[in-house]
Structure 1
Amino acid sequence: MTQPPGFVSSSSPHHVCKLQKALYGLKQAPRAWYYTFSKFLLSQGFVNSHYDNSLFIHKTSTTITVLLMYVDDILLIGNSPSHLQALIHQMHSAFAMQESGDLSYFLGISIQAMGDTYFLSQSKYASEILLKAGMTSCKPCPTPMSMKPVDTLAANLPFHQPQLYRSLVGALQYLTLTRPDFSFAVNQACQYMHAPTNAYFALLKPILRFVQVSLSHGLTFCPSSFELQVFSDSNWTGDTIDHKSTSGYCVFLGSNLISWSAKKQPTVSRSSTEVEYRSLAHATAELSWLQMLLHDLSLPLVTTPLLLCDNLSAIALASNHVFHTGSKHIEVDCHFIRDKIASKKLLLHYIPSAEQITDVFTKPLSVARFQYLQSKLLVTSPPISLQGDDKTSSALAVAAELSS
């Protein structure tokens, strides 16, 4: 830490200050806080998950307690209220902390509970984005993205407020935590953050107009079976500029959507089969991680995970171990899906394109098609029964702050 202006030592002007402890706000502070707090949790019998460093789990023969940490914000949940209260008491004695009580708001996400049903939304955060963009009273838009291609001639004109563009796109990225329905549109907007133009800002406006008309929308979670089902799809050469494809997948645990992705592939593919095959590999990697995470949480799967794809050639390539000349250029790491299928750890089935939910993560859609897939993702406005002041949630949220 450099000597502050006005307090530079005359005898040692080139010396630096030695910190006796980590100060809040410095680059080293989050690492120092994580080391201190994780050391405390390990002393309390918690085990750090191997698959998520911010997740800590405490298990006994009858209880399980899960703690999730994001810097100095902590989410604590368990099936034993007495153990939760004892742990909170120990945390208060060791750190200067502020307890928030029953879970209702965490990291900008509102959680409404009624019995065993939870509704997650970011309506307040979305309103702040519209206020920043000056579009609080804009004309509504039924879909977040037009099916018309980008006007490449207008794309050459630079946008006069690139910082505003980057700020809005970054905020929309965080909004997709509870709004997977416009993940693809935000993914497209992210590709022009380095040099935004007037044409690309025009593509951003429909997203904001769509957010304005669906401010209260969010994700609904309800009791369901513990069966993993993954939809995988891609859009071959969907980008008209660099001809790269977009991969997408969505993972359901029972009827609840728990993971999704819309990502441009790093290389140009030679065929739709190759594109779909790469998408299957990405979805399988996410599925493997989720299986290990669920095992850490003592939630074993009762059935083999199911991967659904609408490309028969990609399914044949993933299921057939014969080496084909048409696929010899595909990276070795994409072929691990074959081992999963051969060892019966994954079932790969065909699904008709009309039932492929992942279309919403890979391409612009018509209004009717978009609204249909939006309902399949369980992205809806909050049910009337969830808009009351319900206090039946058993989860506890605790906010921790480093003492100054």
Structure 2
Amino acid sequence: MNQPKYTVLTLKKALYGTKQAAWCWWLNLKGILQQIGFKSSGEDQSTYFYSSSKGQAMLWIHVDDGALAEISGLVGLSIKQNDTGFNINQTALVDKLTNLLASRITANSPLPQSCNLLLSPSKEMDKEYLKRIGMLLYIAEGTRPDISYAVKYLDRFSMGTASAHWIPKEDQEY
């Protein structure tokens, strides 16, 4: 195709490698997912949910031009494929948090949360506290909903943390 010098052409489609290629692919995939019954998460447009009488499915989508390989982990999750699907857990993240808190753990506790703990905000801010609370929130949301109440209670004091707010021993041990 011969064009005169200084001629500008308009692409009518997205070509691989152009800025709009991933966006066009995304719009196409989104339409297909909605047609077959997947609903987009309100919080994250790359997460889709499907529910029927046969079961439920969650789909997380990431567009990347990188080379594809078998996935073994993602954002604190351990992922293993088997004959029937995938096994996803947060064992490595829980172990990492346990190691961070090891100096404060003395014995196992049967109690998942402190019953009579009264805390009030402080003027201090402790980055280590924020790091641990963030990890606990991620674990609670992902695979341990049973600790959600205790973790979210402690999270109330994220911006005004004092030494008294450090995760009570009972919660760490649990």
User: TM (normalized to structure 1)?
Assistant: 0.29
String of CA shifts for 1:342-381, please: whole Å, max 9, x gaps: xxxxxxxxxxxxxxxxxxxxxxxxxxxxxxxxxxxxxxxx
Map 1:265-284 → 2, pairs under 5 A: none
Corresponding residue for residue 131 of structure 1: 99
Give secondary structure in 2 for the equivalent of 1:120. strand
Relative to structure 1, is the Cα distance of residues 47 and 129 closer, same or farther in structure 2, using a 3 angstrom cutoff? same
Among candidates 51, 57, 69, match of residue 61 of structure 2: 69
**CA 1:113 to 1:187, structure 2 compared with 1: closer, same or farther past 3 Å?**
same
Shift in CA distance, 42/68, structure 1 to aligned 2, threshold 3 Å: same
Q: Is contact 2:40–2:48 with CA below 8 Å preserved after alignment?
A: no
**2:174 paired with 1:206:** no
Q: Hey, what does 2:67 align to over in structure 1?
A: 98
2:79 maps to: 111
CA contact (8 A) 2:125 2:162 kept: no
Secondary structure in 1 matching 2:138: helix
Residues 22, 63 of structure 2: 8 Å contact kept: no
Question: Conserved in 2, the CA contact under 8 Å of 1:185 and 1:207?
Answer: yes
Which residue in the other structure is 1:255 paired with? none
Which residue of 2 is the match for residue 178 of structure 1?
Answer: 143
Using the TM superposition, give the Cα deviation of residue 188 of structure 1 relative to its aligned residue in structure 2, in angstroms.
0.8
Tell me if 1:122 matches 2:90.
yes
Q: CA deviation at 1:104?
A: 3.8
**CA separation in 2, counterparts of 1:48 and 1:159?**
48
SS for the counterpart of 1:111 is strand
* 1:37–1:141 CA distance, 2 compared to 1 (3 A): farther
Considering only aligned residues, what root-mean-square deviation do their CA atoms show, in Å?
A: 3.6
Between the aligned partners of 2:77 and 2:86, the Cα distance in structure 1 is: 12
- Kindly state the Cα deviation for residue 193 of structure 1 after the two structures are TM-superposed: 0.9
* Shift in Å, 1:173: 0.6
Quote how far apart the aligned CAs of 1:171 are.
1.0
CA deviations on 1:145-177 (whole Å, 9 max, x unpaired) are 122x1245xx57x59761111111011111120
Instruction: State the one-letter code of the partner of 1:130.
Output: T
1:56-95 Cα deviation digits (max 9, x unpaired): 79xxxxxxxx9622575xxxxxxxxxxxxxxxxxxxxxx2
The separation in 2 between residues aligned to 1:193 and 1:201, in whole angstroms, is 10
Q: 1:173 & 1:121 partners in 2: Cα distance? A: 15
CA offset at residue 98 of structure 1?
Answer: 2.7
Matched, 1:51 2:40: yes
Taking a change above 3 Å as real, the CA distance of residues 43 and 183 of structure 1, as seen in their structure-2 partners, is closer
Contact 1:47 1:56 in 2 (8 A): no
Q: CA deviation at 1:54?
A: 1.1
Structure 2 residue 128 is the aligned partner of structure 1 residue 164: yes
**Separation in 2, partners of 1:71, 1:189:** 36
Cα gap change, 1:163 to 1:70, in 2 (>3 Å):
farther
Aligned residues: 140
Residue 146 (1) aligns with residue 138 (2): no
SS at match of 1:99: coil
Tell me which amino acid in the other structure corresponds to 2:78.
S
Q: Is the 8 A contact 1:165 1:196 kept in 2?
A: yes
Alpha-carbon distance, 1:40 to partner: 2.3
**Distance (whole Å) between structure 1 residues aligned to residue 63 and residue 171 of structure 2:** 30
> For residue 7 of structure 2, what is the aligned residue in structure 1?
none
Question: Greater relative contact order (Cα 8 A, min sep 6): structure 1 or 2?
Answer: 1
Task: Kindly indicate whether the alpha-carbon contact (under 8 Å) linking 1:110 and 1:122 is maintained by their aligned counterparts in 2.
Answer: yes
Question: Which consecutive unaligned segments of at least 5 residues does structure 1 have?
Answer: 1-32, 58-65, 73-94, 211-404
Q: Against the structure 1 CA distance between its residues 45 and 123, is the aligned structure 2 distance closer, same or farther, given a 3 Å change threshold?
A: closer
Q: Tell me which protein shows more strand as a share of its residues.
A: 1
Alpha-carbon distance between aligned partners in 1 of 2:104 and 2:163, rounded to the nearest angstrom: 20
